[in-house]
Structure 1
Amino acid sequence: MTSPAEHIQSFVNQTWLGRYDVPVGESTNTLIWSFMVSTLSLGGLFGTMTCVSLSAKYRRKTCLQINNVVAILAAVMMILSRMVKSFEMILLARFLYGYNAGLGINLHLMYLGEIAPKRMRGFLALTSSAYLSVGKLLGQVIGLKELMGTEDMWPYLLAVSGLPAILQFVSMPFFPEAPRYLYIDKGDEDGCKKALQWLWREDDVNLKIEMEDMRKERESAQVTQTKTMLDALRDRSVRWQLMAMLIPCSGLQFCGINAIYFYAFDIFRESGVPEEKMHYLALGIGAAEVITVSACAFMIERAGRKKLLGYGYLLMGVMMSVLTVLLTIKDWYPWLPYFNIALLFFVICIYGLGPCGASMCLPADLFLQMWRPSAFAVGGIVNWGGLFLIGMLFPYVVDGIGQFCFLVFVAYCIVTAAFMLYFIPETKGKSSMEITEEFNKLNYKKCSTELEKGIDLFATKL
């Protein structure tokens, strides 16, 4: 929405003038634009909330297929909005895009987590982060004024998101249903074996190992149904898993990355970069994120989630502290603005290698099948809700304290790093049951301690 912003606002003004014979007021225009920007987050929040019921009632593959129709409908509405002179269609289309993203990201990660062997679970989950970064970069590229960021092309620019939906709609029928869903949720052992053989093309030994792991998980879940979000928030058995997911996942919005993007153009301007060249430098930031997220996909199974998240947040906190100091003294030396640009890129690289990449696979890693839909929904609500709050409140924070706004994010990064490094066990290379056993030591630590004390006291009396 950044590139075609002036054209969309002009379209709103022309539409208002044609309806009421007066130009739109400045406050009304600002309000309409704010709704256009924020309604994506509201749609994402709503899509995330419906993920639990839809994924439990229908198959993962079916939900993904239907969700593509939502994005295609939104794209059509974007194209027609100028023809019928209705900016309300843009509002509704943005909401539908948000719904498609909120539901689709959760379903996609769920599907990937359930089709992947444990040795590739982190890598496949990270493809979502990589493609999200690629999508942002492509949006910046095609939004350039030399391409589609023009007054004539902006409706088609906003409709480009419908193209991946069409591609997935056409290709999805050729893929099998998630094996873990078929076996654990539906009890379809034959269907699960066929799906595994189609996906993995491996020998029977590895398939038997994976089936045995699913069997254990299914036996542990047979007495219960798929859990709701309220169950996930209340149940002690997933308390630490929930914290291990929510703290770093909420960090995707509260780690300061939005502040970095917000200050980027100011830093470019202070360094003497011409106004017409700034968008090209911004493309470099997007490219840096794509490269580092892609690199994280290859590192995650070697380095592990815990180290990438813990040290990633720690380094982000340190670098933003340094950036705050340098922004405060930027007028002391003429070379400082250029150094700030380098720091800017460095923070983006750390974000891509750690928090952005490794957070995406946490719900699939940490939770058993019966908890997984609720975990994705809770994580998605926190993520989209945080995005909405940052979008609404951050400009006021910047106006109030300027570059010192980074210190708020620094505190969050340091606390998150300490939590991940000192409290959370590593999950790489472990099955779902093994991970659950690790977290049960934390979830029931107090009970175990009391039991041990009781045994010691009983032995003393004897």
Structure 2
Amino acid sequence: MTAVLLTSIMAAVLGSLQIGFHTGNVNAPAKIMEQFFNSTWRSRHDQWMPEHSLTFLWSLSVSIKDFGALLGSLGVKFLADSYGRRNSILIANALSVVGAALMSASRASGSFEVLIVGRLVFGLFCGLVMSLNPLYIQEVSPTELRGAFATLNQVSFASGIFVGMVAGLETALGTEHHWAMMLSLSLVPALLQFLVLPLCPESPRYLLINRGKEAEAEAALLRLRGSAERVFLELGEMKEEAAHSPSGTTLHQFLRKRSYRKPIFIVLIVNLGSQLSGFNAIINYSTKMFQSRFDEAKFLTLGVGAVNVTFTLVAFFLMERAGRRKLLLTGFLSIAACNLLMTIVDSLLPLVPSLRSLQVLVVLGLVSAYELGPGPISWFIAAELFDQPGRPVAMAFTSMLNWGGKFILALLFPPLLKLCGAFVYLLFMAAALFAFVFTWFRLPETRGRTFDHIAEEFRGHEGLALHSKAGFHTFT
């Protein structure tokens, strides 16, 4: 572990900090921002916006970031393979600056459309960076710390959510006069990333395997490791992987290649199970969920953010000890149990108002379970299951699944809650249970294994089962 390695990782995760900030900052001041929508509409049409239109427009404003991220995911492979992992993060960071500038200018321009467009542009940045970050981090990290360092991306994301929640409080910047200024705060980490990341090395794997620049790869690896002996060993491993890897993989080849089929299915189920587990509905709408029953709903939402950060840190320390598989199994099963309890508690609340405190505990339990495993692992597991040529496409696929799930949930949760009431949580429970069963039978453990070792299990060994009947440690 060297200063250059830590600086590279911390500079990269400044992007996910920005994403978390704009995920958490619209929760508490939602009413104030809805009033801005309404007053803007009245100034144009001399009448208030119909309530159903306002509900839809606000849901669109919240979810448009995730839709933009879905579109941004399509550019991951092109950027990562054309400009490198580090430079691609810097290119994407420009979208963050433009998006934040538009969002903060919406109040001064008197246009809620500018806010929506700003969140859309920022969403393009989200779709790129939440795939490029794990890709860069995993390729510069040593094997024994790969998962833990990749989890730092989720730690930064959760920290950004918490900071956004704090900034959005009425006692901070979530007021009628300052909410636009609050939206511009993400410019600070964006500019800091522009200053620091260019000083960090490019991914040695990209330089050697994708570009064939052995001398540059060796120099980058020496800066990251600080040990000539370690560099010699890792270069040998990379050369062995390069010998097994084609120069590149197109989307068509990615979908047709036999050795990719099982990893694709694993990534599909783990990511959809994670996103459709209900976590994002709670993050986006927890204030509205609590405000009908608590006077200080915004501060309870702040507690949700604090627990979110705490358990991403717990996952960071457990990732290389417990492994990916055990954390996923524990997380999915706990999420399913919490969603069942949410259904029961929400159904009984009109009859037993004293259960409202239990509702808060269940929400905190669900957030904890998500961040213990499904939250961080779903973002980086694809980078471990695929070889170098397929990794950028796999990360783009991961981003599309994650942001697509977030978009659908953010858009549909309010109407589903009105339609189904408390039983909407049973849908989340079913998604988590399905992901648990699939993980139990199909997901291998990748902890402590080199990329080439993992890829070897899929190359020419498609007939073998992908789980160990003896335990959670390896393939059979």
The answer to whether the superposition gives a TM-score over 0.5 is yes
Change (3 A) 1:319 1:6: closer
The residue matched to 2:440 in structure 1 has which SS?
Answer: helix
Against the structure 1 CA distance between its residues 230 and 255, is the aligned structure 2 distance closer, same or farther, given a 3 Å change threshold? farther
- 2:272 is paired with a residue whose SS is helix
**Quick one: which of 209, 218, 228 aligns to 2:233?**
209
| Contact 2:379/2:398 (<8 A) preserved | no
Give 2:222's aligned residue. Answer: 197
Q: 1-side partners of 2:66 and 2:354: how far apart? A: 39
Residue pair 2:259, 2:460 contacting (<8 A) in 1 also: no
Please name the residue that 2:21 is paired with: none
- The answer on 1:71 being equivalent to 2:96 is yes
Q: Tell me the equivalent position of 2:249.
A: 227
In the superposition, the TM-score normalised over structure 1's length comes to 0.89
In structure 1, what is the equivalent of residue 421 of structure 2?
402
Check whether the contact 1:78–1:159 (CA below 8 A) recurs between aligned residues. Answer: yes
Confirm or deny: 8 A CA contact 2:205 2:238 kept in the other structure: yes
1:324/1:21 CA distance change after superposition, 3 Å: closer
Q: What RMSD in Å do the two structures reach over aligned CA positions?
A: 2.3
One-letter code aligned to 1:310: L
Structure ID, larger Rg:
1
Between the aligned partners of 2:417 and 2:283, the Cα distance in structure 1 is: 13
2:323 aligned with 1:304 = yes
TM-score by length of 2: 0.86
Q: Report the CA distance between 1:441 and its aligned residue.
A: 6.9
Letter in 1 for 2:302: L
Rounded Cα–Cα distance in structure 1 between residues aligned with 2:36 and 2:355: 41
The answer (yes or no) to whether the contact 1:319–1:347 under 8 Å persists in 2 is yes
Partner of 2:471: none
Q: Does 1:255 align with 2:277?
A: yes
Q: Secondary structure at the match of 1:50?
A: helix
* 1:6 equivalent in alignment to 2:26: no
2:145 maps to which residue?
120
Contact kept? 1:149, 1:157, Cα under 8 Å: yes
Match of 2:169 in 1: 144
CA contact (8 A) 1:240 1:442 kept: no
Shift of 1:269: 5.8
Query: Secondary structure of the equivalent of 2:274?
Result: helix
Residues 31/179 of structure 1: CA separation in 2 closer, same or farther (3 Å cut): same
Distance (Å, rounded) in 2 between the aligned partners of 1:249 and 1:218 = 28
Rounded to whole Å, the distance in 2 between the matches of 1:42 and 1:194 is: 39
Contact 2:281–2:409, Cα closer than 8 Å, also in 1: no
Q: Distance in 2 between matches of 1:83 and 1:99?
A: 24
Residue type of the partner of 1:243?
F
- CA distance in structure 1 between the partners assigned to 2:345 and 2:43 by the alignment: 50
Structure 1, 22-31 or 428-437: larger mean CA deviation = 22-31
C-alpha separation between the residues in 2 aligned to 1:85 and 1:336? 43
Residue 127 of structure 2 is aligned to residue 107 of structure 1: no
Q: CA deviation at 1:70?
A: 1.4
Instruction: Show the counterpart of 1:181.
Output: 206
* In 2, Cα distance between equivalents of 1:389 and 1:200: 42
Q: What does the per-residue CA deviation read over 1:110-146, in whole Å, with 9 as the maximum and x for residues that have no partner?
A: 1111101111110111011111101111100010001
Moved more, 36-45 or 168-177: 36-45
Question: Aligned AA for 2:449?
Answer: K
- Residue 260 (structure 1) shift: 4.4
Deviates more, 1:74-83 or 1:238-247: 74-83
1:266, distance to aligned residue in structure 2 (A): 7.3
Given candidates 190, 196, 199, the residue that maps to 1:171 is 196
Tell me how far 1:327 sits from its aligned partner: 3.3
- Whole-Å separation in 2 of the counterparts to 1:92 and 1:267: 27
Choose the corresponding residue for 1:294, options 313, 320, 340. 313
On the 8 A contact 1:45/1:384 being kept in 2, the answer is yes
Which of the residues 297, 304, 318 maps onto 1:278? 297
The reply to whether residue 435 of structure 1 matches residue 460 of structure 2 is no
Shift of 1:214: 0.6
Contact residue 229 and residue 378 of structure 1 kept, 8 A = no
Counterpart CA distance in 1 for 2:39 and 2:347 is 42
Amino acid at match of 2:347: T
- Which of 380, 384, 387 is the matching residue for 2:403? 384
Name the CA distance, whole Å, in 2 between partners of 1:8 and 1:333: 33
Aligned mates of 2:429, 2:101 — CA distance in 1: 42
Give the Cα separation in 1 of the matches to 2:355 and 2:48.
44
Shift of residue 31, structure 1, vs aligned partner: 4.5
Mapped contact 2:287–2:297 kept (Cα < 8 A): yes
> Is the contact made by 1:125 and 1:361 (CA closer than 8 Å) also made in structure 2?
yes
SS in 2 for 1:427: coil
Sequence identity, in percent?
A: 32
Unaligned 5+ segments in structure 2 are 1-25, 466-476
Q: Which runs of 5+ in 1 are unaligned?
A: 447-462
